[in-house]
Structure 1
Amino acid sequence: MLRFYIINYIYSFNLIFRYVRNTASSPKETEMLESEDVRIEIPGNQPTNNINVGVVREWEFCIQGHEITQSSERKRQIEKVPPLLLKGEKGRRNGEHYEPTVVSLGPYHHNRDHLSAAENYKLITLEEYCLSCEKRMDTLYNKVFEVVEDARNCYIDGCTDEFTDEQFNRMMLHDGCFVLFFIESVATQNNKLMLNNEHLGALGFATVTRDMFLLENQIPFVVLKVLLNLRFPEDGGESILNKFFNYLNYGEFTKREEKVFGKKQPLHLLELYRSYFISLFCSFGSKVDADRKDWNYVKRNRSFASVTELKAKGIFVKCTSDDESSNEDIKFHSRFCYGELQLVHRAVYPNSKAIYLNMIAYEMCPHNPNDFRVSTYVRVMKSLVINHEDVKELRNNNVLIHSLGRDEEVMKMYEEIDAPAVNLYMFSQLRLGIEKHCNNKYKTWAAELINVYFSSPWQTVALLVATAILFTTFLQTYFTVRPLPDESSGDIVKLLRRCVNSKHPTPA
């Protein structure tokens, strides 16, 4: 009872307090019924079009593997490495692969003491690039100055405040000419490439490529585009970039019939190379996911068997032919009695780990809709490569070449690269196709028969000899129990009698 009076007292006091407060704040409103609804409206907080809907659609469109052609309202910036990638044991070990060791490009690592040698060399590459363009240095300066404001907006707010427009423009001009001079020298195998050895040393020359593809060491592509148009007015430098990217991908300078520039201008060189690096088979099965209703994240994200394990199940790795479409770099076909996993030919060299890590870091950045193609490719390779025998199998099938010395180094490289997120649609489609093939008993039995008895010519011959011996032994036993009639004179009977009376050779 006492509790009931206390509750009523508190409720009455609350009503009196609300009445006094409303009377003091608004003299005209002297009465408010308890049953009235109070609605608070915040002006300007109800837009007619929800911008989040467009963001979601853009992400969904990218994940489905389509190229975005329309310019988004989102401000695209050259991001820094997400801090979460640097946490954990692997993140701390891989931290050095995000830092430049020879040359700084852009404002994030500018004026580092250990990178001073490259700053002096940039003046030489600037002069050489001007001679190649047959333009005066002030012409290049003025052309870059026309886009200096757009270039400044490509960096994180506040990172370029310490530079005046003139200082920032000179930095963009020096860095851009350095990058393009190196790319042209490598792609054309120009003897001027030896200038890198003279000023940076042989080890420094080998590391320039690595530094050019670091996420925090990028310059806006709008600057590179201006300089490329001055040097290559006919195609904007697409042929040179094609040869350079092929050198990174396949270890050769041969120009392939692949487009470098898409419908949308890239933000920087790393983004352009990433889009050229790999294009996974985008005809993934949304119907497959809908039919299976398998939305368990762990199940959809689990790995599949390695190369040697797949071979035991009758799935053989094959290099994609050069005449096939480069837009289907990873394909799986389940044949009548075997499976075929087709992978594009790739080269692995000492700089591959740093380039892979920075392309993955680019995909992990916020405000950056993409389809996680490189992360998915790395996850596929991590599943396929478990031991050195897997690397050997990829080498023998011309899927992979490397210059790391031992096959164990390739295995270790993929093991240390972490791919936190993948395109589950593309990855699960590939995994479901492989698992469906492996669960087919007929195909796995046929694969076991081929692997055990027909893996080499000598095993095939031994199987045939053993089969012949078994067959003649059966005939001898059968006709011993049921002998042939003596008066038979047919050719078949004579042949059978000869087989029965003959002694088969004993195996050694």
Structure 2
Amino acid sequence: METSPSESDDVSIEIPSKQPANGNNGVVEEWDCCLKGKEITERHERHRRIGKVPPLLIKGEKGRRNQDYYEPAVISLGPYHHNRPDLAQAEKYKLITLEEFSYNSKKKIDYLYNKVFEVVHDARKCYIDGSTDDYNDEEFNRMMLRDACFVLFFIECLSLSNKKMLLHNEYLGALGFANVVRDIFLLENQIPFVVVKVLLDLRFEDKGEEILNGFFNYLNYGEVIPREEKVLEEDEHPLHLLELYRSYFISLSSSFGLSSRVPSRWRRWTKKTDAAEDYDYVKRNRSFASVMELKAKGIFVKCSYDESTNEDIKFHSRCCYGELELVRRAVSSNSKAIYLNMIAYEICSHNPNDFRVSTYIRVMKSLIVHPDDVKELRYSGILIHSLGRDEEVVKMYDEIEVPAVNLYMFNQLRRGIEKHCKNKYKTWAAELITVYFSSPWKTVALLVASAILFTSFLQTYFTIRPLPDDSNENIVKLLRLCARYKPPSSPA
């Protein structure tokens, strides 16, 4: 018989002697370093897992409207959506891609199965507890092999422009093929990268970096062209493909690319402003003007073609104008789903990161509020989209919910833009340039009007105050002296 303790009983809780006084200090320091863009020397030990979409993200009006963007439409990858009846057609196609992968890699299926089986226990640990209990090691390993071979076969065909890409149309249809990319980058549709890496090395050996580079470039720029960016860093171990693409998608610094030539007086004032706004979330998180509004204030958008830098967004305040450099990005019908799932990944718990994608999307939401903003970004070479109308791009960014951003990054950019806009000299000079020098005809009209105004002023002035009578004689004498003047001959 169990008895409950009385009020007089002493209750004690034993704390292990090896436990530090405050074991959360390491966690706090790691998060603080991530948010401030500093290098993490010692990571807090945690077991990262392939999570599911946070329930709070699909609540509210926008969340419910975007719920379909977190669920696969054509193919399931991993255990979370496995054996769904509406995705059964793709399961048959996985067997075909497995055979194609085996044929192209010149490895038998049994050999591929055994190589994946070597990491099957590590792969099982990557998922939430209980999500893989329905599968024994053999079933789970078979699922990992088929799913990973499908993903790599699709990436290979797209990156190398392989004609076998037509197999997707044959077995999935054109509409199904169009949705494969979005399904590969769903948060709940991820395969542990440890499995992908094993098959990637077996198939491509030392060319796996180039294959992933071409695939990611297709997503970023709409073209399969090898670039200088590294995809797989030696000291990085991504959990899955979505995490790897997120690190490749955008690079932001804690200073957000503000010009390094900042006066010491401005730096001291910035520190005071930062301290005053540290606990004012509304001030730090407020938006700034759109593209066309910034243009009216003398801030022009510019495409950043220097892809070797680590900062893909930069703001420079020049003498009479400002420049907001943005990296070139392609927007397609799959972009919304990919953006939403990268944001969902960033706000998952136990996952220290710098919210770089959330911050980038928030910047774009501030810049794009009207079709004219999209038009200006297209003309500047910053935005390439295949959504048909510019209104669709505005609608896409408006429907994306960004629950959290990196205030260290976003606030630096916003403050730099606001400081430039508050400078009346720069805004007046910008107004002069944008209104009167925006085209050659306006420039000619301004010069003609200025000449007419100047001659009218001279005419009025000399009408009121005419020249003396002997002034003409003095001018004639001066002209005659100038005509008779001869320079002295140089000595021989």
Shared fold (TM-score, shorter chain, > 0.5): yes
1:378 aligned residue (361, 366, 369): 361
Equivalent residue letter for 1:247? Y
Cα shift at 1:489: 3.9
Cα shift at 1:464: 0.1
1:246 corresponding residue in structure 2:
217
Give matches, 1:334-373, under 5 Å.
334-373=317-356
Q: Does residue 1:260 correspond to 2:231, yes or no?
A: yes
**Following the alignment from structure 1 to structure 2, what is the Cα–Cα distance between the partners of residues 135 and 341?**
51
Give matches, 1:403-422, under 5 Å.
403-422=386-405
Judging changes above 3 Å, is the alpha-carbon distance between structure 1 residues 288 and 150 closer, same or farther for their aligned structure 2 residues? farther
1:162 corresponding residue in structure 2:
134
**Following the alignment from structure 1 to structure 2, what is the Cα–Cα distance between the partners of residues 59 and 486?**
86
1:63 corresponding residue in structure 2:
35
Judging changes above 3 Å, is the alpha-carbon distance between structure 1 residues 437 and 71 closer, same or farther for their aligned structure 2 residues? closer
Judging changes above 3 Å, is the alpha-carbon distance between structure 1 residues 103 and 21 closer, same or farther for their aligned structure 2 residues? closer
Name the SS for the 2:127 alignment partner: coil
Q: Does residue 1:304 correspond to 2:298, yes or no?
A: no
Cα shift at 1:71: 5.7
**Following the alignment from structure 1 to structure 2, what is the Cα–Cα distance between the partners of residues 241 and 87?**
34
1:175 corresponding residue in structure 2:
147
Q: Is the 8 A contact 1:207 1:351 kept in 2?
A: yes
Judging changes above 3 Å, is the alpha-carbon distance between structure 1 residues 450 and 490 closer, same or farther for their aligned structure 2 residues? farther
Q: Does residue 1:290 correspond to 2:261, yes or no?
A: no
Q: Is the 8 A contact 2:228 2:308 kept in 1?
A: no
Q: Does residue 1:111 correspond to 2:111, yes or no?
A: no
**Following the alignment from structure 1 to structure 2, what is the Cα–Cα distance between the partners of residues 265 and 66?**
18
Cα shift at 1:144: 0.1
2:298 corresponding residue in structure 1:
314
Judging changes above 3 Å, is the alpha-carbon distance between structure 1 residues 201 and 410 closer, same or farther for their aligned structure 2 residues? same
Q: Does residue 1:135 correspond to 2:107, yes or no?
A: yes
Cα shift at 1:481: 1.9
**Following the alignment from structure 2 to structure 1, what is the Cα–Cα distance between the partners of residues 168 and 44?**
40
Normalising by structure 2, we get a TM-score of 0.90
Equivalent residue letter for 2:61? E
Equivalent residue letter for 2:134? E
2:3 corresponding residue in structure 1:
none
Residues 22-47 of structure 1 deviation map (CA, whole Å, 9 limit, x = unaligned): 7xx8xxxxxxxxxxxx9x65223554
2:427 corresponding residue in structure 1:
444
**Following the alignment from structure 1 to structure 2, what is the Cα–Cα distance between the partners of residues 388 and 342?**
20
Equivalent residue letter for 2:221? Y
Q: Is the 8 A contact 1:306 1:390 kept in 2?
A: yes
Equivalent residue letter for 2:357? V
**Following the alignment from structure 2 to structure 1, what is the Cα–Cα distance between the partners of residues 474 and 244?**
81
2:92 corresponding residue in structure 1:
120
Equivalent residue letter for 1:290? K
Residues 421-445 of structure 1 deviation map (CA, whole Å, 9 limit, x = unaligned): 0000000000000001011111111
Name the SS for the 1:170 alignment partner: helix
* Greater relative contact order (CA < 8 Å, ≥ 6 in sequence): 2
**Following the alignment from structure 1 to structure 2, what is the Cα–Cα distance between the partners of residues 373 and 184?**
28
Cα shift at 1:456: 1.0
1:498 corresponding residue in structure 2:
none
1:478 aligned residue (461, 466, 476): 461
Cα shift at 1:326: 3.9
Normalising by structure 1, we get a TM-score of 0.87
Does 67-76 or 301-310 show the bigger shift? 67-76
**Following the alignment from structure 1 to structure 2, what is the Cα–Cα distance between the partners of residues 304 and 492?**
64
2:482 corresponding residue in structure 1:
none
Judging changes above 3 Å, is the alpha-carbon distance between structure 1 residues 21 and 59 closer, same or farther for their aligned structure 2 residues? closer
Q: Is the 8 A contact 1:69 1:264 kept in 2?
A: no
**Following the alignment from structure 2 to structure 1, what is the Cα–Cα distance between the partners of residues 477 and 146?**
95
Q: Is the 8 A contact 1:300 1:428 kept in 2?
A: yes
Cα shift at 1:289: 5.6
Compare CA radii of gyration and give the structure with the larger one.
1
Judging changes above 3 Å, is the alpha-carbon distance between structure 1 residues 257 and 203 closer, same or farther for their aligned structure 2 residues? same
Q: Does residue 1:218 correspond to 2:187, yes or no?
A: no
Q: Is the 8 A contact 1:281 1:331 kept in 2?
A: no
Identity of aligned residues (%): 69
1:30 corresponding residue in structure 2:
none
- State the Cα RMSD in Å: 2.1
**Following the alignment from structure 1 to structure 2, what is the Cα–Cα distance between the partners of residues 476 and 415?**
58
**Following the alignment from structure 1 to structure 2, what is the Cα–Cα distance between the partners of residues 222 and 72?**
21
Residues 453-477 of structure 1 deviation map (CA, whole Å, 9 limit, x = unaligned): 1111111100000000011111111
Does 45-54 or 55-64 show the bigger shift? 45-54
**Number of matched residues?**
459
**Following the alignment from structure 1 to structure 2, what is the Cα–Cα distance between the partners of residues 273 and 289?**
34
**Following the alignment from structure 1 to structure 2, what is the Cα–Cα distance between the partners of residues 253 and 41?**
64
**Following the alignment from structure 2 to structure 1, what is the Cα–Cα distance between the partners of residues 475 and 296?**
47
2:490 corresponding residue in structure 1:
none
Residues 372-410 of structure 1 deviation map (CA, whole Å, 9 limit, x = unaligned): 000000000000001001101101101101000000000
1:31 corresponding residue in structure 2:
none
Structure 1 alignment gaps of length 5 or more? 1-19, 26-37, 496-508
Equivalent residue letter for 1:373? R
Cα shift at 1:290: 3.3
**Following the alignment from structure 1 to structure 2, what is the Cα–Cα distance between the partners of residues 172 and 375?**
30
1:10 corresponding residue in structure 2:
none
Cα shift at 1:283: 3.2
Q: Is the 8 A contact 1:249 1:346 kept in 2?
A: yes
Q: Does residue 1:205 correspond to 2:177, yes or no?
A: yes
Name the SS for the 2:314 alignment partner: strand
2:14 corresponding residue in structure 1:
43
Residues 266-295 of structure 1 deviation map (CA, whole Å, 9 limit, x = unaligned): 000000000000011333599776321222
Q: Does residue 1:425 correspond to 2:401, yes or no?
A: no
Structure 2 alignment gaps of length 5 or more? 1-5, 259-266, 480-492
